[in-house]
């Protein structure tokens, strides 16, 4: 958890009993709150965080159903995910902050900025859009997770299955070592229930309501459809967009130095 000081600031407990495992770099400077994507964990921001921690206060947390947070929460609604962001900010005394989200975390960030304009000073969406892709999109993603041959015998086996390279290594570091082997720190049915709600309907109304200056970061080989990105920019022409060459959907893992540079400059 380099860059986040390896220091837990949590857990933060919500009204429904869900416990959120939080990390906080501490220090002064602009506050950044980082949201990981589906099946991710706070630690995947480590390479970005270590490049930001000297000038910013960096906060990240394992979202409900992920990592060290409550694994099977009763509520997986989009609104509750937004409430989690505000609860973490409140617990750490963050009145305003730059909110950075990747993939599903970007969707949560989008909704949070729309619902709480006084709290989100700036918004960074990494490989994230308005949602509403439908049940076929959910099925495609979930089938991939169901095909994981868990438990993996070794961490290297996990890296190989996940495609090799730096991004796969970070994903494998999010696994838990048990007597049976390396296993996921999430349940696929929980991921499916959460993702289904994201794909249920497009959030154009919330997108145009956002007042915070907004930066869109996509990968050259990312997943956000060009048509959706064009429509997002058409409806909010003031939004800045940067495409990172050679990066895929996990831009923060493929190009952490570039992402940190973009976020630092934007937050300042």
Q: What is the pLDDT of residue 113?
A: 99
Q: What is the pLDDT of residue 89?
A: 98
What's the pTM?
0.96
Whether the CB-CB separation of 27 and 53 falls below 8 Å is answered with yes
The tens-digit pLDDT sequence of the chain (268 residues) is 445 644 567 699 999 999 999 999 998 899 999 999 999 999 999 999 999 998 999 999 999 999 999 999 999 999 999 999 999 999 999 999 999 999 999 999 999 999 999 999 999 999 999 999 999 999 999 999 999 999 999 999 999 999 999 999 999 999 999 999 999 999 999 999 999 999 999 999 999 999 999 999 999 999 999 999 999 999 999 999 999 999 999 999 999 999 999 999 999 8
Q: What is the pLDDT of residue 134?
A: 96
217 vs 125, 172, 235, 244, 252, CA distance in Å? Answer: 6, 24, 17, 7, 10
Q: What is the pLDDT of residue 251?
A: 98
Q: What ranges make up the beta strands (E) of the chain?
A: 12-13, 19-24, 31-35, 57-62, 97-102, 120-126, 176-178, 181-183, 214-219, 240-244
Q: Report domain 12-131+202-267's class.
A: alpha beta
Q: And the tokens for 214?
A: 């907004």
| DSSP secondary structure string for all residues of 86-143 | HHHHHHTT-SSEEEEEETHHHHHHHHHHHH-TTTEEEEEEES-------HHHHHHHHH
Q: What is the pLDDT of residue 268?
A: 85
Q: And the tokens for 238?
A: 């003031």
Domain boundary assignment for the chain: 12-131+202-267
CA distance 166 to 152: 18
Q: What is the pLDDT of residue 1?
A: 45
The residues that bridge with 242 in the sheet, in sequence order, are 217
CA distance 222 to 57: 28
CA distance 111 to 84: 12
Q: What is the pLDDT of residue 23?
A: 97
Whether the CB-CB separation of 101 and 125 falls below 8 Å is answered with yes
DSSP 1: -
Q: What is the pLDDT of residue 148?
A: 97
Q: What is the pLDDT of residue 6?
A: 47
DSSP 42: G
Q: What is the pLDDT of residue 76?
A: 98
Query: How far does the chain reach from its first CA to its final CA, in angstroms?
Result: 24
């Amino acid at each position: 958890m380099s860059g986040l000081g390896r220091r837990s600031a949590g857990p933060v407990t919500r009204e429904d009993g869900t416990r959120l495992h939080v990390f906080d770099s501490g220090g002064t400077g602009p506050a950044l709150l980082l949201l990981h994507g589906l099946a991710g964990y706070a630690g995947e921001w480590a390479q970005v965080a270590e490049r930001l921690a000297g000038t910013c206060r960096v906060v990240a947390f394992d979202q409900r159903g992920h990592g060290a947070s409550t694994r099977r929460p009763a509520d997986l609604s989009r609104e509750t995910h937004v409430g989690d962001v505000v609860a973490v900010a409140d617990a750490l005394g963050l009145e305003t902050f730059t909110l950075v989200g990747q993939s599903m975390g970007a969707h949560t960030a989008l909704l949070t900025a729309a619902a709480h304009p006084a709290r989100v000073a700036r918004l960074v969406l990494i490989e994230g859009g308005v949602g509403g892709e439908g049940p076929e999109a959910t099925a495609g993603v979930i089938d991939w997770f169901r095909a994981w041959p868990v438990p993996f015998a070794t961490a290297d086996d996990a890296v190989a299955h996940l495609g090799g390279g730096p991004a796969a290594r970070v994903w494998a570091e999010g696994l838990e070592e048990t007597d049976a082997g390396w296993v996921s720190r999430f349940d696929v049915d929980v991921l499916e229930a959460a993702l289904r709600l994201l794909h249920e309907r497009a959030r154009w109304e919330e997108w145009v309501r956002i007042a915070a200056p907004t930066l869109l970061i996509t990968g050259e080989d990312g997943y956000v459809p060009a048509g959706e990105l064009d429509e997002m920019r058409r409806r909010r022409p003031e939004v800045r967009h940067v495409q990172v060459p050679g990066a895929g959907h996990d831009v923060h893992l493929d190009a952490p130095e570039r992402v940190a540079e973009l976020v630092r400059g934007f937050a300042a």
